[in-house]
């Protein structure tokens, strides 16, 4: 009598694991449920869905330049004492009590932030507005108390509804020390 050859035990489990992984990846490409014809809204700190995210309600700038505020200014109101740019990640930015700190994050990505409410910094409104002169989304803070804080901003792709889009979230941590 002839014996049938069987798949070795390890190979069998690798095959099962591969099939499960493919199944998870395929189901992640499903559509996002909607209600009342409007895109479902999530919290700004939630992980984005696997489908194309829609702009926040009332956000005209989200699909054009990536800023969370629907306010666009041609010029920034007044010069800040300290201007923080994306290249300042990994550095400790030292400021003094009373300084105005400006975060300039370039157009081209959808920005959110900061993810936590700072205690030693007071955010100035409008927050996350578009500055066409700087070609950046701008957040301004006033240093109110001494201490050290990390402000986290996030960037993700600007996605057009119904179009293919790269899904990523970049965390941009900035360390501010107020003396």
pLDDT of residue 47: 37
Percent of the chain with pLDDT over 70: 65
Query: What's the pLDDT band for 53 if we cut at 50, 70, 90?
Result: very low
For range 84-95, the mean pLDDT:
93
pLDDT of residue 133: 86
pLDDT of residue 5: 55
In this predicted structure, the answer to whether residue 130 has a pLDDT above a threshold of 80 is yes
In this predicted structure, the answer to whether residue 81 has a pLDDT above a threshold of 90 is yes
In whole angstroms, how far apart are CA 124 and each of 91, 104, 120? 23, 14, 13
Residue 68 near residue 155 (C-beta atoms within 8 A): no
Burial of 69 (0-12, 13-18, 19+ CB in 10 A): buried
pLDDT of residue 73: 83
In this predicted structure, the answer to whether residue 40 has a pLDDT above a threshold of 70 is no
Q: What is the pLDDT of residues 131-147, one digit of tens each?
A: 888 899 999 999 999 99
**CA-closest candidate to residue 78, choices 57, 59, 100:** 100
Q: Can you tell me the distance from the alpha carbon of 74 to that of 78, in angstroms, rounded to the nearest whole number?
A: 12
Residue ranges per domain, the chain?
50-178
pLDDT of residue 2: 58
Residue 77 vs residue 11, higher pLDDT: 77
* Residue where the block lists tokens 């002839």: 2
In this predicted structure, the answer to whether residue 176 has a pLDDT above a threshold of 80 is yes
In this predicted structure, the answer to whether residue 93 has a pLDDT above a threshold of 60 is yes
Token digits of residue 75: 């010029």
Beta pairing, strands 92-95 & 170-178 = parallel
Query: What's the pLDDT band for 39 if we cut at 50, 70, 90?
Result: very low
Top CATH class of 50-178 equals: mainly beta
* Residue where the block lists tokens 């007044």: 78
In this predicted structure, the answer to whether residue 49 has a pLDDT above a threshold of 80 is no
Beta pairing, strands 82-85 & 100-106 = parallel
């Amino acid at each position: 009598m002839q014996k049938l050859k069987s798949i070795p035990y390890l190979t069998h489990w690798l095959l099962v694991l591969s099939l499960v992984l493919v199944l998870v990846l395929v189901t992640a490409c499903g559509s996002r449920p909607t209600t009342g014809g409007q895109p479902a809204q999530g919290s700004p700190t939630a992980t984005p869905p696997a489908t194309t995210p829609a702009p926040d309600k009332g956000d005209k700038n989200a699909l054009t330049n990536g800023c969370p505020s629907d306010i666009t200014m041609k010029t920034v109101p007044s010069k800040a004492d300290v201007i923080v740019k994306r290249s300042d990640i990994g550095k400790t930015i030292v400021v003094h009590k009373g300084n105005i700190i400006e975060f300039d994050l370039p157009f081209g990505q959808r920005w959110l932030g900061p993810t936590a409410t700072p205690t030693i910094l007071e955010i100035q409104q409008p927050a996350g507005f578009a500055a066409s002169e700087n070609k950046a989304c701008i957040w301004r803070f006033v240093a109110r108390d001494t201490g050290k804080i990390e402000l986290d901003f996030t960037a993700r792709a600007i996605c057009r509804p119904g179009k293919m889009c790269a899904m990523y979230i970049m965390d941009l941590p900035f360390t501010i020390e107020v003396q």
